[in-house]
Amino acid sequence: MSLITTVVGSFPKPSYVPIEDWFDASRKKKGMNTSEVTRLYTNYKKKSQPRKIVC
């Protein structure tokens, strides 16, 4: 039996994903700039449609 492999969680987002995360900010500006990312996502959520239960 071979060892199991897994990942921990996050992965770089493809460029077409409409939100920015801490890591995108870090790659662009050499810093996570967390407050700005929080504000951007808050605005994104306010503009987007409420999620549907079924995907």
Q: How many residues bind other proteins (CB under 8 A)?
A: 40
Q: Which two tokens stand for residue 46?
A: 């306010």
Tokens encoding 11: 């992965």
49 binds other proteins (CB under 8 A): no
The yes or no reply on residue 16 touching other proteins (CB under 8 A) is: yes
Q: Is 35 exposed, middle or buried (0-12, 13-18, 19+ CB in 10 A)?
A: exposed
CB of 39 to other proteins, least distance (A): 8
At closest approach, how far in Å is the CB of 47 from other proteins? 14
CB atoms < 10 A from the CB of 47, how many? 8
47 binds other proteins (CB under 8 A): no
